[in-house]
Amino acid sequence: MPANAVVIGVDSSTQSTKAAFTDAATGRLLAVGRAPHRVTGEGGARESDPAIWWSALRDAVAEGLNALRAAGADASAVTGIAVAGQQHGLVVLDGAGVPLRPALLWNDTRSAPQAAALTEALGGAGAWTARTGSVPVASMTASKWQWLREHDPAAAKAAAAVRLPHDFLTERLCGVAATDPGDASGTCWYSTATGAYDPELLDLIGLDPSLLPAVAPAGGTRVGSLTAAAAAELGLPAGIAVAAGTGDNMAAAVGLGLGGAGLLDHPVLSLGTSGTVFAATRSRPASPALAGFAAADGTYLPLACTLNCTLAVDKVAALLGLEREAARPGGELVLLPYLDGERTPDLPGASGLLTGLRHATTGQQILGAAYEGAVVTVLRALDEVTRACGEDPAAPGAADRPLRLVGGGAQGRYWVETVRRLSGRPLIVPESTELVALGAAALAASAASGDDAVAVATEWGTGSGRALDAVERDTETWERVSSVLDRASGPLLS
């Protein structure tokens, strides 16, 4: 790797693109460029034009280059780039690589009926987890493809290529149709048992395997070089290394320096648009309650995801006319902020629920109850991840294991305090706030140098941060919210 080399990690999320210009030797963040996305749709629909992702990547890189120049460097120092993208989204392209329609995003819940039908068609949840590690839900790409076949058959029939969001951008960068095992494992047509696309599952959903990108080996694999056309658009040197990239959750794990070695000392809770919990392990998970993903480094990343996290709580704050930090504990209230349905538990048709309202209830308590509902939901999902990694979450000492808290919510005082109060666990809040982009940067550095991406990120130290001691767990609130959640599988919310 040349001295003073710079790599770019791209975080293409639901709401925006970030381009992190990173010192390849130290992991120091030199510059960050940002550009927004546009999400459309009402009810259960959530769509974006993939062309917006490319223009946002271009704008974010341009902004980052301007900041890089102000810091005394320039584009000639850049040696590699990798994209980490929002998982599960369905992109269909024509023969020229042009999107045939807006992409269906991970939080588009319209394909819930197709997910249920697919689960039954293969013989139930166990049959799916045995092959893919996951059960189809509305979030998964296979369910979305099935929905497209039924509701937009012209687009499905005309498709010359099917891509995930990060695959689409990687192909625009280097002209190579490639994905990685991590993001591919979120499709429900890739088998974590065999490490390849599953022909029987592709046949079940009527998807021609020739439409799919090749699956690159795990790690920061170099799949190509930046084309002259892409280099001209981005203002970067042609020929620099382009990594296979991965999904956003897998990239965050790389950015934290996580590699599977049994149950991790620090499982991760990410507070973003969605709330996710995951841990890296060398044991292949197969729990119907989880997404049994592959990790970017060749291990596994059992993960549970809740649809309603920071955006849902912010919506409640806006409805109440309050700042997000103006919350107080909910008291007798329970508020399940299922404003977009829910994924874990699998309740795609659910709406929000408020119970326990009194004359004395304040708006601050209602907002606090929204935090509590979101946090209890995601912490219960963490218990499932812990079980998938081979440990009983109620076992002595299990709650002593620190929990890494990441995502935008980890920068919010009330989010952090609510997680502390309801988990009763010590927390580590990494200083690095752009962990997905930094994980992608580590993959880019790996593609440029051949070094192991997780080892690169570990050397950078991007997963370190401030430690917070455990506080006494608020079991009263936990049990009150849990009792309502336990009824959520019945007619109350479904």
**Distance in angstroms (rounded) separating the CA atoms of residues 156 and 461:** 44
Give the position of tokens 């997905």.
436
Extract the tokens encoding 201: 């599952």
Whether residue 88 is annotated as binding a ligand: the answer is yes
Identify the bridge partners of residue 47 per DSSP, sorted by sequence position.
40, 104
Q: Assess contact for 13 and 440: CB atoms under 8 A.
A: no
345 prior amide bond cis, ω within 30: yes
Extract the tokens encoding 293: 């993903």
Extract the tokens encoding 98: 């042009």
**Distance in angstroms (rounded) separating the CA atoms of residues 117 and 356:** 37
Element (H, E) at 314: helix 310-320
Backbone torsions φ then ψ of 354, nearest 5 degrees: -125, 125
Active-site residue identified among 167, 248, 340, 474: 248
Active site residue 248: yes
Whether residue 151 is annotated as binding a ligand: the answer is no
Identify the bridge partners of residue 113 per DSSP, sorted by sequence position.
none
Q: Assess contact for 403 and 375: CB atoms under 8 A.
A: no
Of 125, 137, 148, nearest in space to 350 by CA: 137
- CA 168 vs. chain centroid, Å, equals 17
Quick one: 147 exposed, middle or buried, by C-beta within 10 A (0-12, 13-18, 19+)? Answer: buried
**Distance in angstroms (rounded) separating the CA atoms of residues 282 and 289:** 19
Extract the tokens encoding 489: 């599988």
- Provide the annotated active-site residues: 248
Give the residue ranges of the annotated binding site for substrate.
Answer: 87-88
Give the residue ranges of the annotated binding site.
Answer: 87-88
